[in-house]
Amino acid sequence: MKNHEKTATDVRLPTVCAPGEGLRVASGGIVYRFLATKAETNDKYSLFEATLRPGEGSPFHVHSREEEAFFVLDGEVAFYTEAERVPAGPGTFINASIGVVRGFRNETDRNARMLILVAPSGPHRHNDHWRTVRDYLLYMGLLMTSIRNAATRIVGTSLDRAELEATTSGLCDRYRRASLRTPIALHRLREVQKRFRSTFDHVDVLLSPAVAHSTPILGHLSPDQPFDSWFERLSAFDCYAPLNNISGTPAITLPLHRTRSGLPLASHFSANIGDERTLLELAFELEEAMPWARIDNQPQPIPAPDEVGSIDTGRDTARRPG
Protein backbone atom coordinates (compact mmCIF):
# COMPACT_ATOMS: atom_id res chain seq x y z
CA MET A 1 0.00 0.00 0.00
CA LYS A 2 1.32 3.42 -0.96
CA ASN A 3 1.75 6.05 1.69
CA HIS A 4 -0.34 9.07 0.68
CA GLU A 5 0.70 11.23 3.62
CA LYS A 6 2.34 14.47 2.55
CA THR A 7 5.88 15.13 3.63
CA ALA A 8 7.41 18.53 4.28
CA THR A 9 8.93 18.57 0.80
CA ASP A 10 5.49 18.03 -0.80
CA VAL A 11 4.02 21.19 0.72
CA ARG A 12 4.30 24.32 -1.40
CA LEU A 13 4.58 27.70 0.26
CA PRO A 14 1.89 30.24 -0.68
CA THR A 15 2.67 32.52 -3.61
CA VAL A 16 2.24 36.19 -2.77
CA CYS A 17 2.02 38.88 -5.45
CA ALA A 18 1.71 42.23 -3.70
CA PRO A 19 0.11 45.30 -5.32
CA GLY A 20 2.37 46.57 -8.09
CA GLU A 21 4.34 43.31 -8.27
CA GLY A 22 4.25 40.68 -10.98
CA LEU A 23 5.71 40.61 -14.47
CA ARG A 24 4.05 43.22 -16.70
CA VAL A 25 4.11 42.90 -20.47
CA ALA A 26 2.21 44.89 -23.09
CA SER A 27 0.86 43.13 -26.14
CA GLY A 28 -1.40 44.65 -28.76
CA GLY A 29 -2.66 47.46 -26.52
CA ILE A 30 -3.31 45.17 -23.53
CA VAL A 31 -1.07 45.23 -20.45
CA TYR A 32 -0.84 41.86 -18.72
CA ARG A 33 0.26 41.55 -15.10
CA PHE A 34 1.01 37.94 -14.21
CA LEU A 35 -0.21 36.92 -10.77
CA ALA A 36 0.35 33.15 -10.94
CA THR A 37 2.28 31.26 -13.60
CA LYS A 38 2.40 27.57 -14.42
CA ALA A 39 5.65 27.23 -12.46
CA GLU A 40 3.84 28.40 -9.33
CA THR A 41 0.68 26.32 -9.83
CA ASN A 42 2.31 23.08 -10.97
CA ASP A 43 0.83 23.59 -14.46
CA LYS A 44 -2.72 23.66 -13.07
CA TYR A 45 -3.61 27.20 -14.19
CA SER A 46 -2.32 30.69 -15.02
CA LEU A 47 -3.87 33.85 -13.60
CA PHE A 48 -3.21 37.35 -14.83
CA GLU A 49 -4.69 40.81 -14.70
CA ALA A 50 -5.35 42.51 -18.04
CA THR A 51 -5.72 46.25 -18.55
CA LEU A 52 -7.35 47.19 -21.85
CA ARG A 53 -7.03 50.63 -23.36
CA PRO A 54 -10.01 52.11 -25.21
CA GLY A 55 -10.52 50.31 -28.50
CA GLU A 56 -8.21 47.42 -27.63
CA GLY A 57 -9.02 43.76 -27.15
CA SER A 58 -8.53 40.25 -28.45
CA PRO A 59 -9.82 39.07 -31.85
CA PHE A 60 -11.92 35.95 -32.26
CA HIS A 61 -9.97 32.88 -31.20
CA VAL A 62 -10.55 29.41 -29.82
CA HIS A 63 -8.71 27.24 -27.29
CA SER A 64 -8.52 23.52 -27.98
CA ARG A 65 -7.11 22.48 -24.59
CA GLU A 66 -7.81 25.23 -22.06
CA GLU A 67 -10.80 26.67 -20.26
CA GLU A 68 -10.64 30.47 -20.09
CA ALA A 69 -12.48 32.54 -17.48
CA PHE A 70 -12.86 36.32 -17.16
CA PHE A 71 -13.84 38.50 -14.20
CA VAL A 72 -14.26 42.22 -14.89
CA LEU A 73 -12.82 44.49 -12.19
CA ASP A 74 -13.16 48.00 -13.63
CA GLY A 75 -14.76 49.57 -16.69
CA GLU A 76 -16.74 47.64 -19.27
CA VAL A 77 -15.64 44.95 -21.70
CA ALA A 78 -17.70 43.70 -24.64
CA PHE A 79 -17.42 39.92 -25.06
CA TYR A 80 -18.28 38.33 -28.38
CA THR A 81 -19.15 34.82 -29.47
CA GLU A 82 -20.20 33.71 -32.92
CA ALA A 83 -23.82 34.33 -31.93
CA GLU A 84 -23.96 37.26 -29.51
CA ARG A 85 -22.38 40.30 -27.88
CA VAL A 86 -22.30 40.42 -24.07
CA PRO A 87 -21.52 43.76 -22.35
CA ALA A 88 -19.74 43.04 -19.06
CA GLY A 89 -19.31 45.56 -16.27
CA PRO A 90 -17.56 45.27 -12.88
CA GLY A 91 -18.39 42.03 -11.09
CA THR A 92 -19.32 40.13 -14.27
CA PHE A 93 -17.92 36.62 -14.65
CA ILE A 94 -17.70 34.84 -18.00
CA ASN A 95 -16.36 31.35 -18.69
CA ALA A 96 -15.37 30.32 -22.22
CA SER A 97 -15.19 26.56 -22.56
CA ILE A 98 -12.87 24.56 -24.76
CA GLY A 99 -13.82 24.86 -28.42
CA VAL A 100 -15.96 27.99 -27.98
CA VAL A 101 -15.05 30.88 -30.28
CA ARG A 102 -14.61 34.05 -28.25
CA GLY A 103 -13.25 37.58 -28.44
CA PHE A 104 -13.41 40.74 -26.37
CA ARG A 105 -12.88 44.48 -26.74
CA ASN A 106 -12.97 47.65 -24.67
CA GLU A 107 -15.45 49.77 -26.62
CA THR A 108 -15.57 52.62 -24.10
CA ASP A 109 -13.45 55.76 -23.77
CA ARG A 110 -11.70 54.68 -20.55
CA ASN A 111 -9.46 51.81 -19.49
CA ALA A 112 -10.98 48.50 -18.43
CA ARG A 113 -9.42 45.92 -16.15
CA MET A 114 -10.18 42.24 -15.63
CA LEU A 115 -8.78 38.97 -14.33
CA ILE A 116 -8.15 36.14 -16.80
CA LEU A 117 -7.70 32.55 -15.66
CA VAL A 118 -6.52 29.83 -18.05
CA ALA A 119 -6.64 26.17 -17.01
CA PRO A 120 -4.75 23.99 -17.38
CA SER A 121 -1.63 26.07 -17.77
CA GLY A 122 0.70 23.38 -19.11
CA PRO A 123 0.13 23.76 -22.87
CA HIS A 124 -0.36 27.53 -22.60
CA ARG A 125 2.55 29.43 -24.14
CA HIS A 126 1.98 32.92 -22.67
CA ASN A 127 4.45 32.39 -19.84
CA ASP A 128 7.27 31.40 -22.21
CA HIS A 129 6.51 34.40 -24.42
CA TRP A 130 6.70 36.92 -21.59
CA ARG A 131 9.87 35.34 -20.25
CA THR A 132 11.45 35.72 -23.70
CA VAL A 133 10.43 39.39 -23.77
CA ARG A 134 12.06 39.92 -20.38
CA ASP A 135 15.23 38.06 -21.43
CA TYR A 136 15.45 40.06 -24.65
CA LEU A 137 15.05 43.31 -22.72
CA LEU A 138 17.92 42.26 -20.46
CA TYR A 139 20.05 41.45 -23.51
CA MET A 140 19.34 44.88 -25.01
CA GLY A 141 20.28 46.43 -21.68
CA LEU A 142 23.58 44.54 -21.78
CA LEU A 143 24.30 45.93 -25.25
CA MET A 144 23.39 49.50 -24.27
CA THR A 145 25.50 49.28 -21.11
CA SER A 146 28.48 47.97 -23.07
CA ILE A 147 28.19 50.77 -25.64
CA ARG A 148 27.78 53.41 -22.95
CA ASN A 149 30.80 52.17 -21.02
CA ALA A 150 32.93 52.05 -24.17
CA ALA A 151 31.74 55.41 -25.49
CA THR A 152 35.04 57.13 -24.78
CA ARG A 153 36.90 54.78 -27.09
CA ILE A 154 34.12 54.76 -29.71
CA VAL A 155 33.51 58.50 -30.10
CA GLY A 156 36.82 59.74 -28.75
CA THR A 157 35.33 61.98 -26.09
CA SER A 158 33.88 61.77 -22.62
CA LEU A 159 30.20 60.93 -22.34
CA ASP A 160 27.77 63.06 -20.40
CA ARG A 161 25.23 60.49 -19.23
CA ALA A 162 22.70 63.25 -18.61
CA GLU A 163 22.51 63.69 -22.38
CA LEU A 164 21.48 60.08 -23.02
CA GLU A 165 17.93 59.44 -24.17
CA ALA A 166 15.55 58.10 -21.56
CA THR A 167 15.30 54.84 -23.50
CA THR A 168 19.06 54.24 -23.34
CA SER A 169 19.27 55.16 -19.66
CA GLY A 170 16.23 53.00 -18.90
CA LEU A 171 17.73 49.93 -20.57
CA CYS A 172 21.01 50.46 -18.72
CA ASP A 173 19.23 50.88 -15.38
CA ARG A 174 17.18 47.73 -15.90
CA TYR A 175 20.29 45.78 -16.76
CA ARG A 176 22.09 47.06 -13.67
CA ARG A 177 19.24 45.85 -11.44
CA ALA A 178 19.01 42.41 -13.06
CA SER A 179 22.52 41.76 -14.39
CA LEU A 180 22.89 38.57 -12.32
CA ARG A 181 20.27 36.95 -14.56
CA THR A 182 22.40 37.49 -17.67
CA PRO A 183 23.80 33.92 -18.03
CA ILE A 184 20.41 32.19 -17.72
CA ALA A 185 18.73 34.82 -19.92
CA LEU A 186 21.30 34.32 -22.69
CA HIS A 187 20.93 30.55 -22.37
CA ARG A 188 17.16 30.77 -22.79
CA LEU A 189 17.52 33.12 -25.76
CA ARG A 190 19.78 30.56 -27.44
CA GLU A 191 17.04 27.97 -26.94
CA VAL A 192 14.53 30.35 -28.53
CA GLN A 193 16.99 30.80 -31.38
CA LYS A 194 17.15 27.04 -31.96
CA ARG A 195 13.37 26.63 -31.86
CA PHE A 196 12.74 29.49 -34.27
CA ARG A 197 15.37 28.28 -36.73
CA SER A 198 13.86 24.79 -36.63
CA THR A 199 10.69 26.29 -38.15
CA PHE A 200 12.50 26.40 -41.47
CA ASP A 201 13.03 22.66 -41.44
CA HIS A 202 9.45 22.51 -42.74
CA VAL A 203 8.83 25.81 -44.56
CA ASP A 204 10.90 28.19 -46.67
CA VAL A 205 9.30 31.47 -45.64
CA LEU A 206 7.41 32.57 -42.54
CA LEU A 207 4.82 35.34 -42.99
CA SER A 208 3.66 37.64 -40.19
CA PRO A 209 2.53 41.24 -39.77
CA ALA A 210 5.38 43.72 -39.62
CA VAL A 211 3.92 45.40 -36.52
CA ALA A 212 0.96 44.79 -34.24
CA HIS A 213 -1.10 47.84 -35.22
CA SER A 214 -1.16 50.64 -37.77
CA THR A 215 1.26 53.57 -37.71
CA PRO A 216 0.88 55.54 -34.44
CA ILE A 217 0.68 59.32 -34.24
CA LEU A 218 3.88 61.35 -33.94
CA GLY A 219 5.23 61.27 -30.41
CA HIS A 220 3.66 57.93 -29.48
CA LEU A 221 7.08 56.27 -29.43
CA SER A 222 9.07 59.36 -28.51
CA PRO A 223 12.26 58.56 -26.56
CA ASP A 224 11.59 61.61 -24.38
CA GLN A 225 8.81 59.89 -22.43
CA PRO A 226 9.42 57.80 -19.28
CA PHE A 227 11.10 54.50 -20.06
CA ASP A 228 8.29 52.27 -18.74
CA SER A 229 5.73 54.08 -20.90
CA TRP A 230 7.99 53.91 -23.95
CA PHE A 231 8.72 50.21 -23.51
CA GLU A 232 5.05 49.36 -22.98
CA ARG A 233 4.13 51.13 -26.21
CA LEU A 234 7.06 49.72 -28.18
CA SER A 235 6.46 46.11 -27.11
CA ALA A 236 2.80 46.46 -28.08
CA PHE A 237 3.81 47.79 -31.51
CA ASP A 238 6.99 45.96 -32.54
CA CYS A 239 6.56 42.34 -31.43
CA TYR A 240 7.57 40.31 -34.51
CA ALA A 241 10.99 41.51 -35.72
CA PRO A 242 12.71 40.82 -32.35
CA LEU A 243 12.52 37.10 -33.14
CA ASN A 244 14.80 37.76 -36.10
CA ASN A 245 17.14 39.75 -33.86
CA ILE A 246 17.28 36.87 -31.38
CA SER A 247 17.70 34.12 -33.97
CA GLY A 248 19.92 35.97 -36.44
CA THR A 249 17.62 34.99 -39.30
CA PRO A 250 17.12 37.30 -42.30
CA ALA A 251 13.83 39.08 -42.88
CA ILE A 252 12.28 41.57 -45.25
CA THR A 253 9.34 43.91 -44.75
CA LEU A 254 7.25 44.85 -47.78
CA PRO A 255 4.59 47.61 -48.09
CA LEU A 256 2.01 45.37 -49.72
CA HIS A 257 -1.08 47.22 -48.50
CA ARG A 258 -2.34 50.53 -47.17
CA THR A 259 -4.81 51.46 -44.49
CA ARG A 260 -8.03 53.28 -45.38
CA SER A 261 -6.28 56.55 -44.55
CA GLY A 262 -3.43 55.75 -46.94
CA LEU A 263 -0.73 54.75 -44.45
CA PRO A 264 1.56 51.84 -45.39
CA LEU A 265 0.53 48.44 -44.07
CA ALA A 266 3.48 46.08 -44.28
CA SER A 267 4.01 42.32 -44.29
CA HIS A 268 7.05 40.71 -42.68
CA PHE A 269 8.76 37.69 -44.26
CA SER A 270 11.42 35.61 -42.48
CA ALA A 271 13.72 32.91 -43.87
CA ASN A 272 16.46 30.62 -42.63
CA ILE A 273 20.06 31.62 -41.98
CA GLY A 274 21.83 32.41 -45.25
CA ASP A 275 18.63 32.32 -47.32
CA GLU A 276 18.40 36.02 -48.17
CA ARG A 277 18.09 35.06 -51.83
CA THR A 278 14.69 33.49 -51.23
CA LEU A 279 13.43 36.69 -49.61
CA LEU A 280 14.71 38.89 -52.42
CA GLU A 281 13.23 36.64 -55.11
CA LEU A 282 9.91 36.63 -53.30
CA ALA A 283 10.01 40.42 -52.97
CA PHE A 284 10.60 40.86 -56.70
CA GLU A 285 7.68 38.55 -57.52
CA LEU A 286 5.35 40.30 -55.09
CA GLU A 287 6.27 43.74 -56.38
CA GLU A 288 5.61 42.62 -59.93
CA ALA A 289 2.24 41.12 -59.01
CA MET A 290 1.18 43.86 -56.56
CA PRO A 291 3.23 47.04 -57.21
CA TRP A 292 3.35 49.11 -54.06
CA ALA A 293 2.75 52.82 -54.20
CA ARG A 294 5.70 55.19 -54.22
CA ILE A 295 5.94 58.21 -51.95
CA ASP A 296 4.93 60.54 -54.78
CA ASN A 297 1.90 58.44 -55.72
CA GLN A 298 -1.61 58.99 -54.47
CA PRO A 299 -2.80 56.35 -51.98
CA GLN A 300 -4.65 53.54 -53.68
CA PRO A 301 -7.45 51.50 -52.10
CA ILE A 302 -6.52 48.04 -50.92
CA PRO A 303 -7.57 45.54 -53.60
CA ALA A 304 -10.00 42.82 -52.70
CA PRO A 305 -8.48 39.34 -52.41
CA ASP A 306 -10.00 38.21 -55.72
CA GLU A 307 -8.49 41.26 -57.44
CA VAL A 308 -4.96 40.50 -56.34
CA GLY A 309 -4.59 37.24 -58.21
CA SER A 310 -2.51 34.26 -57.26
CA ILE A 311 1.24 34.45 -56.87
CA ASP A 312 3.21 31.34 -57.73
CA THR A 313 6.48 31.49 -55.81
CA GLY A 314 7.10 27.78 -56.03
CA ARG A 315 7.68 27.74 -52.27
CA ASP A 316 5.78 26.90 -49.11
CA THR A 317 4.74 29.80 -46.92
CA ALA A 318 3.62 29.56 -43.31
CA ARG A 319 1.67 32.26 -41.51
CA ARG A 320 2.63 33.41 -38.05
CA PRO A 321 -0.50 34.36 -36.02
CA GLY A 322 -0.94 38.08 -35.76
- Centroid of chain to Cα 184: 21
Assign 177 a pLDDT band (cuts: 50, 70, 90). Answer: confident
Is the pLDDT at 7 greater than 80, yes or no? Answer: no
- Centroid of chain to Cα 304: 28
Instruction: Note the pLDDT tens digit of each residue in 252-265.
Output: 999 988 877 777 78
Q: Residue 295 and residue 301: Cα distance in Å, rounded? A: 15
Q: What sign results for the dihedral spanned by CA atoms 68, 188, 234, 49? A: positive
Pairing of strands 57-61, 67-74: unpaired
Per-residue model confidence (pLDDT) at position 316: 41
Inter-helix orientation angle 182-198/126-149, to 10°: 120
Per-residue model confidence (pLDDT) at position 127: 56
Is the pLDDT at 321 greater than 70, yes or no? Answer: no
62 vs 279, more confident: 279
Per-residue model confidence (pLDDT) at position 19: 83
Nearest to 66 by CA among 126, 119, 22, 111: 119
Is the pLDDT at 312 greater than 90, yes or no? Answer: no
Element holding 166 (H helix, E strand): helix 166-178
200, 318 in Cβ contact below 8 A? no
Nearest to 75 by CA among 96, 94, 53: 53
Per-residue model confidence (pLDDT) at position 87: 94
Q: What is the mean pLDDT of residues 174-189?
A: 90
Instruction: Note the pLDDT tens digit of each residue in 76-98.
Output: 999 988 788 999 999 999 999 98
For the full predicted model, state whether its pTM sits above 0.85: no
12 vs 190, more confident: 190
Instruction: Report percent pLDDT > 70 for the chain.
Output: 82
Per-residue model confidence (pLDDT) at position 295: 62
Q: Residue 73 and residue 89: Cα distance in Å, rounded? A: 8
Instruction: Note the pLDDT tens digit of each residue in 34-58.
Output: 888 877 788 788 899 999 988 888 8
Assign 6 a pLDDT band (cuts: 50, 70, 90). Answer: very low
Is the pLDDT at 205 greater than 80, yes or no? Answer: yes
Assign 274 a pLDDT band (cuts: 50, 70, 90). Answer: very high
Is the link from the previous residue into 120 a cis peptide, with omega within 30 of 0? yes
Q: Residue 319 and residue 297: Cα distance in Å, rounded? A: 30
Assign 240 a pLDDT band (cuts: 50, 70, 90). Answer: confident
253, 260 in Cβ contact below 8 A? no
| Secondary structure of residue 320 in the 3-state scheme | coil
Is the pLDDT at 122 greater than 80, yes or no? Answer: no
